[in-house]
Structure 1
């Protein structure tokens, strides 16, 4: 076999092993080292000591060191810690209740409150699993007790929970910035309007759907609605402090006052202060937050080590050149290139999660952007929107499994999938809107930081 053929075999074996359930990070490391040993081998070893005389081990060591000293990735554990602290501060349940009361005159007020809570909490957390799990425990029973259709309620929670990977400060965007070597500040600015657009479309869909079919979401009974003064007080107590923290973090980043890592550090401190204000700060909760942060950060770091090793070997064997030549010889227009790539990413979202798609497959397409004259930040936003589908597309719709895990026998998995499908269509519609109006993503970063020049 030629080296490019070995590279394609390497990629195919990785997909098969992931589908069989092997851990992604260590599969990447094993595949990178295994095929790298072949790629960098200078012949059969003459002695036992020669077995380890291979450049793949040097490459693995260098990639590990590069990940650990990457300044961009420092923001990940700090944002994670902020999210875990906020999650344990009992802020979200107050926020959901007060938003529900504030939106009581709108059709589907609980569903709207759930979406808004998901959007705010996702912004503070950026952890899809945490948002869906917590809202599944908090919002689903409330909607179920109010007579909401189970499929409708499940779809709202699953869709709202995925907003965390799109709306800044998104962990996914930090990972993308490190992979594509783009400015995280411009990525955050580019993601603001697409994220708000998607959240807004979700809310519009809920209002229209319930207006057309009121049986999906009965109106709250008048005796269950507290006095208006209490509503405003609860809303101020629960909504304002968390929102101020989020705006301070994002504002310092987008205003150029702080790097993402510096803003994340202040956000982590702000999360502790909020927990103290709400009298929810305890040594046990801080210890749990630190443990979960370390666990999630270690996973991200090993994903990077494995992916960079895998990608280096894949490129060395000529895998990237094969795929690039295939796209170039198809004589595609820029629009056709974008449509084909997004279709591939969408299909990959059926069996794979966002991290696998982003770390392994997106770097394959990045070198082609210059050839087709595609703005890398515009491409990043298309990918970010598209990756929403990896959480919403069966059979590996992880948001559905997160929700099923906490609800257990309260709802069937197939009903969760049925509830998700309309939101999958909304994501695709959002991508179409972004194709037609690229300024949705590009106007704000160009306004804040000047027009991007390739």
Structure 2
């Protein structure tokens, strides 16, 4: 077998192993080291050292030590150590634990229940008022945390029972919670975009600016669907009864907004604004955001030692997962590229003589299918780098490609059979709520994601306008 064929076999073995449920990070590291040993192995040098030891009259133990030393004198071990150090010292990835800590602290600040109640009262005259309030709360909370499971679970405990009690259609209510909870991986400050920036070399500041309008576009499409369906089919979202909402004075409503909506919105805008306008690096802004999250928890009298310890533990756990995925991925991809696998794939795709549009559709289709068995972090770190070398050939901007991927990855949380948002919600939903109802409720929101992607394909300036205005071409 030639080296490129071995590289393709290496990729095939990896895909086969992950379907058996093995830990992906350690699978990548193991395959990278095993195939890397083969790629970098120099038997001639090992036996030359051994023959010299024999000629020098070395004893049996010295000969054995020489042979073992030669066996482990392989560049793959140096590569593995260097990749580990590079990941841990990556300045872009430093922002990940800080943003995670901000999210976990905000999650425990008891702000979400106040926010949902306030938005529901403020939107009570809109069709589907409770669903509108739930979606906006999900969007804000998801933006502040970037943790899909936490948002869906918390909103599933808070807003989902309230919507069912208000006689909302089960599938409709499920779709609102599941779709709203995924917005945090697109709307800045998104952890997914930080990971993409580290993998692709694209400026995280430009990525944040480019993702802002598409994020608002998708959230806007969700709202249009919610309000439109509530108007056309009132039975799915009955109007709130006056006794449920009450007649709250304007002054009290303003006070509720100032104490629930404004603090979280100001925190998000301060963090995002300082990054976009160059006042702070993402790491510095994330540090300030983590401090602001602690301040919110103190202000709401929700900061306890137990909650702080949980936030730190969850932050370290998630950060370790992302970093070890990077270590494994970069070791794997370095060996894969050294064996010629990346060149073989590039030659194959460029030889197909397809248009840039066809390439984009094909790439997004592959990422869509990968979203069934894999998490977004694994797709971004492992598979997206395979497409990156092809972008210059097709004239695709990596910034535009990254935003499309971020949009596409919304589908990985909403598409059966592995729709993780649906499983998060099912785990805390009342027993009578069936998983098939949740899946059914996610389908219209899935259609909104595809519609948003079609809009971006046809109007790419939605992505490029803000980065060009703020930072130039």
Q: Following the alignment from structure 2 to structure 1, what is the Cα–Cα distance between the partners of residues 148 and 35? A: 33
Q: Which aligned runs of 4 or more in structure 1 are off by greater than 4 angstroms? A: none
**2:464 equivalent to 1:437:** no
* Pair 1:228 & 2:249 matched: yes
Q: What does 1:405-416 align with in structure 2 at a 5 Å threshold?
A: 405-407=427-429, 409-416=431-438
Aligned to 1:157: 177
- More moved, 16-25 vs 269-278: 16-25
- The reply to whether residue 194 of structure 1 matches residue 214 of structure 2 is yes
Match of 1:287 in 2: 309
Report how far residue 231 of structure 1 moved.
Answer: 2.7
Shift of 1:243: 0.4
Distance 1:318 1:96, change over 3 A: same
- Larger gyration radius, structure 1 or structure 2: 2
1:52 to 68, 72, 77: 72
1:52-88 CA-partner distances (Å, limit 9, x unpaired): 2211111110000001110001100000000000000
Q: What SS does the aligned partner of 1:168 have? A: coil
Distance in 2 of aligned mates of 1:361 and 1:90: 38
Match of 1:95 among 105, 115, 125: 115
Cα distance, 1:410 vs. partner? 4.0
- Structure 1: runs of 5+ lacking an equivalent: none
Q: Are 2:371 and 1:346 aligned?
A: no
Match of 1:123 in 2: 143
Contact 1:124 1:246 in 2 (8 A): yes
Distance 1:189 1:156, change over 3 A: same
Q: Is structure 2 residue 401 aligned with structure 1 residue 379?
A: yes
Residue equivalent to 1:210: 230
TM-score where L is the length of structure 1: 0.97
Distance in 1 between the 2:16 and 2:172 partners? 34
Task: State how far apart, in whole Å, the 2-side matches of 1:103 and 1:128 are.
Answer: 25
Tell me the residue number matched to 2:443: 421
User: Size of the alignment, in residue pairs?
Assistant: 451
What is the match of residue 6 of structure 1? 6
TM (norm. structure 2) is 0.93
CA deviation digits over 1:335-390, x for unaligned, max 9?
12112111211122222221121111111111111111111111111111111111
Identify which of 336, 354, 361 aligns with 1:332.
354
Unaligned runs of 5+ in 2: 48-66
User: Quick one: distance in 2 between partners of 1:415 and 1:152?
Assistant: 9
SS of residue matched to 1:351 = coil
Distance in 1 (CA, whole Å) between partners of 2:412 and 2:23 is 18
